């Protein structure tokens, strides 16, 4: 071995010894088993641990559809549109008919007709309403009605009826008092109802006064003619009956009644129905009539005087005064009025149309009454009575006058 080789060997040995000494020192401080894994230092509290990056084992797939821009609205999946179906109209069965009453009374504008279809099978229970119709401002009778009903509400074993009533301002005026069965048990679906008037139970005075002055109109009085041919020629009889203003010199109005007596016995009259009396009660009748006439006394004429032979009469009757064919071609009044100057049971003669102060063609007012001719009349079952006044002429010429005032005083006879 040469010198150079010896030096190298010396150096290597020295390094080895140093390394061996170092390792021995460390082994004595921290003994580590040969198979132990190196210890992992705990992270410091102030330093967050570094998360290891895990490489994906699967390849990342690129999206095949473009990602919508954030500014574009995201479309909501639409629901299928359902077209609305049209309702099927089913025609329901119905009960129909009319509502009326016998009285000649007009309904007011506030009248209401109420018709009900009722289940009346249970004798010990209230009726059940199956259907109803309310008719406001129905006009005048007869009034038509139609009430539809559900056939499921009908039991063939049960009984059904129709009832009706008429009210005005919450007051019951008319109602059904008879039974009108319908629908089941071979009964019809169409009925005509006849209602009865409801009489209010209010105190009835022993005396009633009726006064009419005709200042602006006829106040419900109407005119009529009797004791002439059924087919009387208008141009010959010259009959009129209307409300007019009074002639010059008089103030106000009156009911004008002119007529040419060509039948030897012409009767011209006015009539009006009054109410508020005790039903079927007998009354003593006192009345006075005001006439505007232009006939002086003492005149002569065909068949009689134009003044003294035109007789004024008044009275009252249960039935409406009506002139009808007597079967012989004459219109005859259904009131016992007597003949010309004679009185009847329902009308009495109280004077004539002459006025002692009439001059020329001027009209003057004349007042007549039945103070010396007593008269009685009976009200009908509804507490109504017809008043009547007129002239019974024996003068075969033209007569014309005005009724300017009518007053009746009725006193019940106990």
pLDDT tens, per residue, the chain with 414 residues: 455 555 555 655 665 565 554 545 444 444 444 444 444 444 454 444 445 444 545 544 454 554 444 455 555 555 555 566 666 667 899 999 999 999 999 999 999 999 999 999 887 788 999 999 999 999 999 999 999 999 999 999 999 999 999 999 888 999 999 999 999 999 999 999 999 999 766 678 899 999 999 999 999 999 999 999 999 999 999 999 999 999 999 999 999 999 999 888 899 999 999 999 999 999 999 999 999 999 998 888 887 888 899 999 999 999 999 999 999 999 999 999 999 899 999 999 999 999 999 887 899 999 999 998 989 999 999 999 999 999 999 898 999 999 999 999 999 998
CA 241 to CA 235: how far, in whole Å? Answer: 15
pTM: 0.54
Using CB atoms within 10 A of its CB, is residue 292 exposed (0-12), middle (13-18) or buried (19+)? buried
CA 401 to CA 256: how far, in whole Å? Answer: 6
pLDDT for residue 122:
85
pLDDT for residue 36:
43
Q: Position of tokens 């509804």? A: 382
- Give residue 186's Cα distance to chain centre: 32
> How many C-beta atoms lie closer than 10 Å to residue 164's C-beta?
25
**Which residue in 387, 217, 379, 205 sits closest to 287, CA to CA?**
387
Asked if 146 and 96 count as a contact pair (C-beta separation under 8 A), the reply is yes
CA angle 135, 141, 143 (to 5 degrees): 40
> How many C-beta atoms lie closer than 10 Å to residue 194's C-beta?
17
């Amino acid at each position: 071995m040469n010198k150079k080789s010896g030096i190298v060997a010396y150096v290597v040995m020295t390094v080895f010894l140093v390394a061996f000494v170092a390792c021995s020192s460390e082994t004595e401080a921290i003994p580590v088993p040969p198979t132990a894994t190196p210890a992992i230092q705990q992270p410091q509290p102030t330093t967050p641990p570094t998360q290891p990056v895990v490489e994906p084992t699967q390849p990342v797939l690129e999206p095949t559809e473009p990602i919508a821009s954030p500014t574009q609205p995201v479309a909501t999946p639409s629901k299928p549109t359902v077209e609305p179906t049209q309702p099927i109209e089913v025609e329901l069965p119905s009960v129909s008919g009319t509502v009326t009453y016998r009285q000649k009374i007009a309904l007011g504008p506030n009248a209401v007709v109420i018709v009900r279809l009722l289940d009346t099978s249970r004798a010990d229970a209230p009726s059940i309403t199956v259907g109803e119709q309310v008719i406001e401002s129905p006009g005048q009778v007869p009034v038509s009605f139609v009430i539809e009903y559900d056939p499921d509400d009908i039991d063939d074993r049960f009984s059904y009826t129709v009832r009706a009533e008429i009210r005005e301002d919450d007051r019951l005026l008319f109602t059904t008092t008879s039974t009108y069965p319908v629908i089941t048990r071979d009964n019809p679906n169409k009925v005509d109802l006849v209602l009865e008037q409801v009489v209010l139970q209010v105190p009835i005075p022993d005396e009633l006064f009726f006064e009419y002055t005709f200042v602006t109109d006829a106040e419900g009085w109407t005119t009529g003619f009797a004791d002439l041919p059924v087919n009387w020629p208008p141009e010959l009889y010259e009959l009129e009956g209307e409300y007019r203003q009074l002639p010059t010199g008089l103030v106000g109005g009156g009911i004008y009644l002119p007529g040419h007596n060509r039948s030897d016995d012409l009767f011209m009259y006015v009539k009006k129905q009054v109410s508020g009396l005790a039903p079927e009660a007998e009354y003593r009748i006192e009345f006075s009539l005001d006439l505007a006439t232009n006939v002086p006394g003492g005149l002569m004429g065909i068949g009689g005087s134009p003044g003294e032979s035109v007789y004024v009469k008044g009275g009252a009757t249960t039935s409406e005064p009506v002139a009808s064919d007597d079967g012989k071609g004459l219109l005859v009044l259904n009131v016992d009025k007597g003949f010309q100057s004679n009185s009847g049971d329902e009308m009495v003669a109280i004077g004539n149309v002459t006025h002692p102060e009439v001059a020329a063609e001027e009209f003057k007012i004349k007042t007549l009454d039945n103070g010396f001719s007593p008269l009685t009349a009976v009200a009908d079952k509804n507490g109504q009575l017809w008043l009547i006044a007129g002239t019974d002429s024996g003068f075969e010429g033209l007569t014309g006058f005005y009724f300017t005032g009518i007053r009746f005083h009725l006193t019940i006879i106990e």
